[in-house]
Amino acid sequence: MSDAAEAFCHHWYLNDPNPGLLVLAGAPNCGKTHVVRAVFWWAQAVAFRAMEDGAGEKPPRWTRVPSIAFYRWPEVTDGFKEGDYSPMTDLLDSDLVIIDDIGAEYDPSKNAANRLCQTLSRREQKFTMVTTNIHPEHWAHLFDVRIADRLLRNSQIVDLFGVPSYAVAK
């Protein structure tokens, strides 16, 4: 997981989204959220430098300071239920988007699933990190075939199932 996150960060710093989507899939407490939070804080700390370091290149890596957004999907889903769609702007337009814990939401209306599908579709070839507790073989059934397709397309999937809980391993 750390190697994949480090490579993802390297590509983000260079503005080279190949692949653009990193999916960390594993059981609860295997460290997925800790890793994506660390990536978020790191990216915020170096965003200006990422733009500045590539400014002399033709074309420049970044033409402005890259924007970064971090969202916990169950909280975003709860906001959708109350009519708050404000996160969609960040989810669609930010240069780096991190969505934590997809699949942990309660979404019987499938409104959040439709928004997630829209987000993943529009973020193809853009820097996106996603965490989930759902095993990839169940994505089509539990999320939606469209979402499963987008999670598998132009992505790197880190399978952390079988990694013990860090809380239990202490």
List 127's β-bridge partners, or say none: 96
Query: Confidence class of residue 169 from pLDDT cuts 50, 70 and 90?
Result: low
pLDDT tier at 37 (50, 70, 90 boundaries)? very high
Residue 96 located in a structural domain: yes
Q: Per residue in 59-79, pLDDT tens? A: 888 999 999 999 999 999 999
Residue from 35, 30, 73 nearest 159 by CA: 30
Contact 96, 66 (CB under 8 A): yes
In whole angstroms, what is the distance from residue 26 CA to residue 143 CA?
Answer: 16
The predicted structure's pLDDT at residue 128: 97
Q: Assess if residue 42 is contained within a domain.
A: yes
Task: Give the pLDDT score at 40.
Answer: 98
Q: Note the residue count of the chain.
A: 170
110 lies in some domain: yes
> How many percent of the chain have pLDDT more than 70?
99
Q: Look up the CATH number of the domain holding residue 89.
A: 3.40.50.300
Q: What is the pLDDT of residue 58?
A: 82
Domain membership of residue 115 as a residue range: 2-159
Flag whether 165 is in a domain. no
Domain count of the fold of the chain: 1
Cβ–Cβ < 8 Å for 97, 129 = yes
Q: Report if residue 66 sits inside a domain.
A: yes
Q: How far apart are CA 162 and CA 106, in angstroms?
A: 25
Q: What is the pLDDT of residue 109?
A: 87
In a domain, 168, yes or no: no
| Domain membership flag for residue 95 | yes
pLDDT for 67 equals: 97
Is the residue at 167 inside a domain?
A: no
Q: Which of 50-54, 101-105, 144-148 has the lowest mean pLDDT?
A: 50-54
Sign, Cα dihedral of 74, 79, 83, 84: negative
Rounded to whole angstroms, how far apart are CA atoms 131 and 134? Answer: 9
